[in-house]
Chains A and B, each alone.
Chain A
Amino acid sequence: TQLLEQSPQFLSIQEGENLTVYCNSSSVFSSLQWYRQEPGEGPVLLVTVVTGGEVKKLKRLTFQFGDARKDSSLHITAAQPGDTGLYLCAGVGGSNYKLTFGKGTLLTVNP
């Protein structure tokens, strides 16, 4: 069973601060995705990383895939209240079609 550990589980910060959340596993993934989920809604895809060491930027969000493709990080610069939500990482492993999700990091950005 491929497990993804996300940390921290909860994070509450003030508007304008920077933050990093982590997604770690002992397994290698062929690709890894980050989603954001708001209360009562389904997750929405933010980014997919495929190559070890890959860095992708989405406005104030920077995603990195570890060299060994076992871990990833999400860095948010100058967080805004609209960034509030549950951030989930999900890995595609042995079976190409199946995503395994972590438990998520619940981010609250206070105005």
Chain B
Amino acid sequence: DTGVSQNPRHKITKRGQNVTFRCDPISEHNRLYWYRQTLGQGPEFLTYFQNEAQLEKSRLLSDRFSAERPKGSFSTLEIQRTEQGDSAMYLCASSPGLAGGLAGELFFGEGSRLTVL
């Protein structure tokens, strides 16, 4: 399977704990996105990487959230001191960018569902 891979698929944690999610994009895609989705809502943009550079970070992301993409390959999203309001599906997507396809065409992973108790 050469699609976008995310893990863990599900994470249950207690309030105040730290969690980390990993995303492995499609290998030839240089663009990587993180979105958050809560029940009944569409995905909300969190952050965007082009290769290893984080080019945009949403105001939705507090200082407790940090994302990295070392070497422009896989990415991690860490949430420190989790709160109940962080409970959501965290979606990763990759894109080939302008050279390989239409601008903004995203390929999503299956998501990582976080439940904070």
| Residues on A facing B (Cβ under 8 Å) | 4, 6, 30-31, 33, 35, 40-45, 48, 50, 88, 90, 92, 95-104
Contacts and interface: CB of A to CB of B under 8 A. Distances in A.
A48 B41 CA distance: 21
Most A-side CB within 10 Å, residue of B42, B48, B55: B42
A31 B42 CA distance: 18
Contact of B42 (A41, A50, A96, A103): A103
Contacts of B31: 97
Interface string B103-115: 1111111110100
| Interface residue tally on B, bucketed by range | 20 to 34
A98 B35 CA distance: 11
A102 B41 CA distance: 8
Contacts of A98: 45, 48, 56, 104
A66 B110 CA distance: 31
A48 to B, nearest CB: 5
Contacts of B107: 45
Interface of B: 4, 31, 33, 35, 40-45, 48, 50, 55-56, 91, 93, 95, 97-98, 102-111, 113
Contacts of A102: 42
Contacts of B106: 33, 43, 45, 90, 99
Given A42-B91, A97-B31, A92 B42 contact: no
Contacts of B44: 101
Contacts of A90: 42, 104, 106
Contact of B102 (A6, A48, A95, A101): A48
